[in-house]
Amino acid sequence: MGLAKTEMFTDLQNEIALFAKVFGHPARVAILQHLFKIDTCACGDLVNEIGLAQPTISQHLKELKHLGLIKGKVEGTSVCYCINADNWTKMKKVMIQFLDQNIPKGDCC
């Protein structure tokens, strides 16, 4: 059996692609913006705030949590979410290094 496509690339390339993927959906961007705005854990207000159905919000939260950009804790019958500061800082560092590359000065096209 052949290599998985991701195995063809470096760990860093795969990491950058995963970070980019998480920002590839406006609902996930909106969730992150809301979590930054409230500066605390969000429990049940994400459905009302974002305007999507609970299962849809849950799926986006799962993606964000899987990547480690948010963390959740159980409070009673709900899960409260907040930004995972350590992983957010790591992601920022990786993405800034990638995005801050100098554009070649040659005339290629």
- Which CATH number does the domain housing residue 84 bear? 1.10.10.10
pLDDT band at residue 3 using 50, 70 and 90 as cut-offs:
low
Residue 98 lies in a domain: no
Report which of residues 52 and 40 the model is more confident about: 52
Ranking 27-36, 50-59, 69-78, 88-97 by mean pLDDT, the lowest is 69-78
Q: How far apart are CA 104 and CA 48, in angstroms?
A: 46
Residue 80 lies in a domain: yes
Parent domain of 89:
9-93
Looking at the DSSP bridge assignments, the partners of residue 81 are 42, 72
Residue 4 lies in a domain: no
Residue 36 lies in a domain: yes
Residue 108 lies in a domain: no
Average pLDDT over residues 15-32: 94
Q: Is the pLDDT of residue 29 over 70?
A: yes
Which tokens in the block code for residue 99?
Answer: 């995005």
Instruction: Enter the pTM of the model.
Output: 0.85
Overall domain count for the chain: 1
